[in-house]
Structure 1
């Protein structure tokens, strides 16, 4: 069983997947910061200073107006946090756009490399004597 595990871990696909997961986690932190620290304030500015994360509707419980979502949850109120859902959609759209741009860039690089490889002249080995030339040479040697 240990040998099977070593074989499984040593496969290239497993290592590629592990690298992808680690990079994905780091990328998620970057995107969260970009959305939370850069894009949300701009969107909030256009929406009149509204913070989407604190948009909610109280289903049951007593919550004073203007209470933050976190405080409402700590007070035990059942809340319908539609603002957090809106932020999740915005995050998804931003991540999808960034991934699209990355894939687009990688495809362009691959196409450029393929075009460069196609355009590179294929070095042909210098042509040696043909079979006929060799036979004629042998014939001439035999005549002498």
Structure 2
């Protein structure tokens, strides 16, 4: 089966038991911005690390990296094909930032991880252990 990801991209998910119960869904970006703004409240976002658990193709990780001055924006995705898409998108955004492309200079550090959140955070020094939002 293929899951449509928007903008003409699609990812094929196998009948793999590990992904059989997962659902991919879009999140309204304006609502996301309002939600994160409310969560930040009066805290200094430059002292906070954002996490999107189930980050899919990385859309909200990148969105947070463009909109908020977070210390870092992280994502965790269990589906390797979706994680791969996020890695490609993050690499492209970083390349554009480094080349001085307009609109990319304010992009905060973004990173995604492929795997299970609980397995990853079992590592004592893993960056996911220090997320705030």
TM-score by length of 1: 0.22
The structure that is helix-richer by fraction is 1
Higher relative CO (CA 8 A, sep ≥ 6), structure 1 or 2?
2
Q: Rg: which structure is higher?
A: 1
TM-score by length of 2: 0.24
The structure that is strand-richer by fraction is 2
